[in-house]
Amino acid sequence: MTIRSLFRLGLIALLLFAVGCAPPTTQVGTIGSTPLQDKYSTYFTIGAATTPSKLAAVQNIVDFHFDRLTCENDMKWGVIHPDAGTWNFTAADALADYARGRGITMTGHALIWHNQLPANNWMFTGLTPDTDGARSALKTIMQTHIDTLVERYYDVIDNWDVVNEAISDGGGYRTDSPWYEYFGSEEYIYWAFRYTKDALEAHAGGTGTSLGKLYYNDYSVVNSTKLNAIIDMVKWLRQDPSTPPLPAGQSPIAIDGVGLQAHWQMDWPNTTLIQNAINAIDGAGLKAKISELDISASYGSSGTINFTSELAQIQANRYAAIFSVFRSNNDKISSVTFWGVSDDQSWLNNFPVSGRDDYPLLFDRSHNAKPAYYAVIDFN
């Protein structure tokens, strides 16, 4: 254990006290002796998605290993803006204040998405799809939402998932999105990035320098058809030659990167597909970030997962191969974020199979380091 690690351990109790949480009970030896954030400090930041209620049980792991956080759900529209005049900042504020207290950064997730909207879908109520009235009303609603979140969190969030999952698996725009339906086209994507960029530049004192980076985030980005459509969308936003026009009178926007939701399997995607996706994103002048990493132990099966020691080692080998690709592309990758901290807190429990446990992360249900953790740090 390094002197820096020992020093951090001595500060953990003080940090926890500062954010009003109880000290951890798990001994540091069970979560590994080498902090991920230290091992990867010259490569990229290492993050985790969590919630305040989950954090309380794994805060020793988070303090020791991670130097980036993402709100797993608490900045999504349905939670933080459930009705027109109602905002619920409690959970997002708690995680943001914790990050500020530790001096680490966050990813803002996600400003515009077609899922996890308010139960009453209040922003679309009373509007007629694909009309000037709907577009005008939604632009005002969208701008207010984005301005409010940027105003509240711009000091701790250094990159934003501005638009999430707007491209279909077949490569076109998702027409099943209510944003697409009510705007009548993909125009909503432009306005989401425009309002986010404008809000960030306003906080930069009019210098034209954004305080946070603009990302598009999606799953299956390793699918070449989908990736090509994403890059075409980026080219449209920045108005490369031969792309469709932007909304009348609007200027181009150069976004910063693409997030790969790396909800991957033990046997998919192979490292060649991952490398090809990173190369294509870099070739388009963009940064890649690994935004939602976990490796399901299911092999895509719907059956019960028997997570044996042999399967744990296979998963470790898989993580080792993937992180070898990440390290070799550290100049192209801005961050790597795990979607969760420990197996007991993963979203893959009960999904896509109700009642089934999964084992996709580096720390097990007792919050001990798994072989996957040691595989990720075992390099020179």
72 part of the active site: no
201-215, 289-303, 359-373: which range is least confident on average? 201-215
pLDDT at 21 over 90: no
Element (H, E) at 337: strand 333-338
**From CA 148, how far away is CA 146, in angstroms rounded?**
5
**From CA 68, how far away is CA 60, in angstroms rounded?**
14
What pLDDT band is residue 204 in, cutting at 50, 70 and 90?
Answer: confident
> Which of 240, 232, 239 minimizes the C-alpha distance to 258?
232
Residues 4-32, mean pLDDT to the nearest whole number:
45
- Among residues 72, 165, 181, 186, the one annotated as catalytic is 165
Element (H, E) at 108: strand 105-108
206-215, 217-226, 285-294, 319-328: which range is least confident on average? 206-215
pLDDT at 17 over 50: no
6-10, 45-49, 62-66, 187-191: which range is least confident on average? 6-10
What the block records as the tokens of 21 is: 């949480």
pTM for this prediction: 0.91
Helix axes 52-65 and 3-18, enclosed angle (nearest 10): 160
**From CA 203, how far away is CA 157, in angstroms rounded?**
13
Give the per-residue pLDDT at 211. Answer: 75
Whether 334 contacts 289, CB under 8 Å: yes
151 part of the active site: no
What the block records as the tokens of 7 is: 């020093």
Which residue reads 């059956």 in tokens?
303
What the block records as the tokens of 80 is: 């933080």
Whether 130 contacts 183, CB under 8 Å: yes
What domains does the chain contain, in order, with CATH numbers? 3-377 (3.20.20.80)
Residues 112-137, mean pLDDT to the nearest whole number:
98
- Please give the single-letter amino acid code of residue 370: K
Element (H, E) at 164: strand 157-164
% of the chain beyond a pLDDT of 70: 91
Average pLDDT along the chain: 92
- Among residues 72, 181, 186, 292, the one annotated as catalytic is 292
Give the per-residue pLDDT at 203. Answer: 83
Give the per-residue pLDDT at 206. Answer: 61
> Which of 350, 356, 344, 348 minimizes the C-alpha distance to 26?
344
Which residues 6+ apart lie within 8 Å of 4 measured at CB?
Answer: 35, 38
Residues 324-335, mean pLDDT to the nearest whole number:
98
Give the per-residue pLDDT at 5. Answer: 43
